[in-house]
Amino acid sequence: MSYGDPNNPYGQPPQQPSAAPGYGYPQAPPGVPPQQGYGYPQQPAYPGYPGGNNMLPQSMPGLLVTARVFLFLISATQILGAIGFLYFAAIASDVSNSADDIGLNDTSDFGDMATGVLVILALVFAALAALSITLGVKFSRGAQGVRITTVVYGALGGVVGLIYLFVGMDTGLASAIIFPLIWVAFAVIITVAPVVPSGTAWFNRPRY
């Protein structure tokens, strides 16, 4: 019998066709390791972000969100303060003009000085409100400059709040203690939030 005869029991077994590659998936050439996750781009890892997954932080940490809300609340208070100072400046200006009309020069000069001081305070409060709003808005995409400015801003606010707290404790009035105490608590959160590991990682995250 011929070895080429398929009915020959002593002949070589017929060759089996190789398994067909998976339809729709390109096959890697010999010696090349298969690609993982074909069709999906691989996400880069970013070491140093706490949490153990080494992935890019996708959302703002909760403490930073709280600090951001506090900044917006402080800005609202500062805007109200600026409006209040402008209102009292207008009253002082009216008093000064009235005193000038009736010849009370000393009262007129005092009214002019009070008007100037109140206007300056209104401008300072308006500038602080603008800074608070800017820092809060920049938290979403801010870098190290925003982080450092926030820490300094919160620390200075905490010092001022402590001064008012000590003064209020000397007066013994509960209303003079509660407001400075809330002020200090807000300042501590605003100061600490950017320097804890989660806050540091948020401000150090890659940007595209």
The pLDDT tens digits for 40-58 are: 455 544 444 444 444 555 6
Token pair listed for 191: 């100061």
Return the top range by mean pLDDT from 6-10, 22-26, 173-177.
173-177
Closest CA to 161 of 187, 133, 135, 189: 187
**What's the rounded Cα separation, in Å, for the pair 109 and 32?**
90
Chain mean position to CA 74: 15
DSSP track, 77-126: HHHHHHHHHHHHHHHHHHHHHHHHHTT-HHHHHHHHHHHHHHHHHHHHHH
Domain ranges of the chain: 62-202
139-157 pLDDT, tens digit each? 988 788 899 999 999 999 9
Q: pLDDT (tens digit, 9 = 90+) per residue, 56-104?
A: 556 889 999 999 999 999 999 999 999 999 999 999 888 877 776 676 6
Other beta carbons within 10 Å of 157? 20
